[in-house]
Amino acid sequence: MTVASPNDFQDSLQPQGWLRYFSFSLDHKVIGIQYLVTGFLFYFIGGALAGVIRAELASPISDFVSRETYNEVLTLHGTVMIFLWIVPVVNGGFGNYLIPFYVGARDMAFPRLNAVAFWMIPPAGILLIGSYFITGAAQSGWTAYPPLSLTTPALGQVVWIVSVLLLGGSSIFGGINFIATVLKLRRPGLKLMQLPMYCWAMLGTSILVVLSTPVLAGTLLLLSFDIVAHTGFFNPALGGNVVVYQHLFWFYSHPAVYIMVLPAFGLVSEILPIHSRKPLFGYTTMVYSILAIVVLGLVVWAHHMFTSGTPPWMRLFFTIATSFIAVPTGIKFFNWLATLWGGKLALNSAMLFSCAFIVNFVFGGITGVALAQVPFDIHVHDTYFVVGHFHYIVYGGTVFVIFASIYHWYPKFTGRMLNEDLGRLHFLLTFVGFNLCFAPQHWLGLNGMPRRVAEYDPSFTTLNQISSVGALLMAISSLPFLYNVLVSAFKGQVAGDNPWNALTPEWLTSSPPPVENWIGAAPLVEHPYGYGVDEDALSVEAATGRDLWSGTGRR
C-alpha cells in the first residue's frame, strides 16, 4: 500500500465539493454514489420497518402495533427493500460506477438519461414513505394481489402504484443505458470475452429489466384502472380474473429476483479473484451460465403460483424449468469455490462477506429447489418457510455482496481505507444476526406459521423470539458499519490508487478517479483476472507501457 502523492493537475480536473452529489450531475461516478447513498438511506428506513415487524412478532398477540399498521409496515418494508434498496444499489449504484471503467469508457452511453433515471428515485421514495403519514400506506404487501389490493384503502394503493411505476421507469432507463454501454461503448480492441464478469452480469440483468419491467408497469396500470375507474380486469365480482394478475406480476417479479442477484454474482466474481490472487475459474462457463439464467429466468414465473389453480401440465413445466436453473447457478458456485481453492486468501472484510454470501446463497438455493417441487411447495406455500428462503437469497445473497463490495470499492470511491477491525465486527454481528433471524423461520414455516400475519399461535413463540433477537443483532451490526463509512471518509488510512494490487481497470487510475476516469487513454485490459500468471505477459503493461507493480513489490 502506498501513499498517493497529491497531483495538482489531476486535482484541478476533479469536480469540487460535496454539493455535486445533490446536483443533476452527468458523471457516472457521481450518479453511482448518488444511487448508493440514497439506497443506504432507504435500507435503514426499510430496516427500521423490519424492526417494527420483528418487535410485533416477538409476542403472539398484536400488541406493538395495530393489525392495519402491521400490514402497512409489511408492505412498505418489502417495497422499500426491493425497489429502493437492492435494485437501485446493485444495478444503478455499482453498475454506474464500475461499468464505464470496465468497458474502457469515460461515461455511460447516455449520461443525461442516466441522471434522469437516478432522479426519478427520490420522488418515488418520498411518495411511498410519505403515503404512510398522509393518506395511509398500501396494505396489500409488495405483491399487491387483487382482490386484496382492491379492497384495502384505495388512496394508499394508488400512491404505491405511482411510486412503483416511477421506480420501474427508472430501472428501464438504467437497463437501456447498461445494454448500450456494454455492447456499444467498449474501448477499441476490447473483446466481449475479455470483459470483467460484472459487465456480463449487468448485461444479463439489463436484458431482464428491459423485457420484464414493462410488463409489471402495464399490469399496475390495469390494476389502477380497477381501483380508480372500477373496471374489472382483476376483479372476479365484475367478471375479471385474478390469476392473470398473478401471471403478469410474476412475469416481472420472478426475473426481478435475478435482477437482484445476478449483479451480486458479478460483483463477487470481481472480489474473489483479487483477494485470492488467482484468476477467476471458468470464465467462459460463467458467461454462458449468466446467459442461461437470463433465458431460464424468463420462463419459471408460475412456480410462485402452484396453489393458484394452475393446471398439471403447467406445474410440471414450471417445476422442471425451475429445477434447471440450479444447474447454471451451481456452475457459478463451483467456479467460485475453484477460484478460492489453493489461492493466497486475504480474509479481510470484503472476503468474509463474499465467502458468507456463498454459504448463505447455497442454503437459500437449496430451499429454492425444494420450493420448486409442487408437493413440497403446496405444504409450505404462504408460510414463513418462503420468507426464510427469500431472505437467504436476497439478504444472505445480495446484501452480503453489497457489504463486501463496499469494503472492496470504498478505497476507490473515497481514496481512503475502511477500518478492518470494525469491518470484521460488522461481519460477525451481521452473519450471526442474519442466521439467527432467518434460519428459525424455516422451522416456523414447516410447522405451519403463515406469513404476513401480526398474530400467531403461541406454540410458535420461542422460535419467533429467537428470530427477533437475530433482527436486533442485525440492527446493532449497522452501528459499526455506519461509524466506519462515515469516519473513514475523513480519517481512514489513505488508500493509494490500487491498494488490492488489482488488475481490473477501475484500479488503474487514481482514487478517487478524475472526472473522465483516466488522465490520457483508457488502459486496454485483456486479462482482468491474470493474477498469479506471468506478469510480464500481461497485456495491460504491454499495451499501456505502465508498470502496474511499481512501488508495491511483486506478490
Minimum separation from the CB atom of position 114 to other proteins (A)? 11
Which residues ranging from 481 to 500 are in contact with other proteins (CB under 8 A)?
496-498
Rounded to the nearest 10 degrees, the angle between the axes of helix 242-276 and helix 400-414 is: 50
Going 381 to 144 to 127 to 254, the CA torsion angle's sign is: positive
478 binds other proteins (CB under 8 A): no
Peptide bond into 147 cis (omega under 30): yes
Q: Cα-Cα-Cα-Cα dihedral of 70, 71, 75, 81, to 10°?
A: 20
133 binds other proteins (CB under 8 A): no
Minimum separation from the CB atom of position 181 to other proteins (A)? 9
10 binds other proteins (CB under 8 A): yes
Among 138, 159, 179, 454, binds other proteins (CB under 8 A): 179
Which residues ranging from 420 to 449 are in contact with other proteins (CB under 8 A)?
none
Among 185, 290, 436, 503, binds other proteins (CB under 8 A): 185
C-beta closer to other proteins: residue 131 or 206: 206
510 binds other proteins (CB under 8 A): yes
Cell digits for 532?
Answer: 498469479
Minimum separation from the CB atom of position 243 to other proteins (A)? 8
**Angle (nearest 5°) at CA 252 between 373 and 133:** 110
Rounded to the nearest 10 degrees, the angle between the axes of helix 242-276 and helix 349-372 is: 150
CA 292 vs CA 182, 210, 372, 540: distances in Å? 18, 17, 18, 31
The terminus-to-terminus CA distance of the chain in angstroms comes to 12
The binding track of 208-237 with respect to other proteins, each residue x by CB under 8 A or -, is --xxxxxx-xxx-xx--x---xxxxx----
Among 71, 360, 484, 509, binds other proteins (CB under 8 A): 509
Tell me the sheet residues that pair with 416. Answer: 494
Q: Identify whether the C-beta of residue 277 lies closer than 8 Å to the C-beta of residue 532.
A: yes
CA 180 to chain centre: 21
C-beta closer to other proteins: residue 45 or 207: 207
Minimum separation from the CB atom of position 90 to other proteins (A)? 20
Which residues ranging from 526 to 545 are in contact with other proteins (CB under 8 A)?
543-545
Which residues ranging from 104 to 123 are in contact with other proteins (CB under 8 A)?
105-107, 109-111, 113
Distance CA 377, CA 366 (A): 13
Stretch binding other proteins (CB under 8 A), from 245-253, 281-289, 318-326, 443-451: 245-253
Tell me the sheet residues that pair with 383. Answer: 450
Among 28, 29, 54, 247, binds other proteins (CB under 8 A): 247
C-beta closer to other proteins: residue 128 or 548: 548
For 416, the 3-state DSSP assignment is strand
Stretch binding other proteins (CB under 8 A), from 17-25, 449-457, 469-477, 510-518: 510-518
Among 520, 534, 536, 553, binds other proteins (CB under 8 A): 520
Stretch binding other proteins (CB under 8 A), from 86-94, 183-191, 289-297, 351-359: 183-191
Minimum separation from the CB atom of position 461 to other proteins (A)? 44
524 binds other proteins (CB under 8 A): yes
188 binds other proteins (CB under 8 A): yes
C-beta closer to other proteins: residue 26 or 369: 26
Which residues ranging from 258 to 317 are in contact with other proteins (CB under 8 A)?
none
CA 477 to chain centre: 19
Distance CA 100, CA 195 (A): 11
CA 473 vs CA 82, 113, 431, 436, 504: distances in Å? 22, 40, 9, 9, 35
Which residues ranging from 64 to 83 are in contact with other proteins (CB under 8 A)?
none
Q: How many CA atoms lie within 13 A of 156 on its CB side?
A: 27
Q: What DSSP character marks residue 298?
A: T
CA 71 to chain centre: 24
48 binds other proteins (CB under 8 A): no
Distance CA 471, CA 474 (A): 5
Task: Please report which residue ranges of 60-93 form alpha helices under DSSP H.
Answer: 67-79, 87
C-beta closer to other proteins: residue 155 or 180: 180
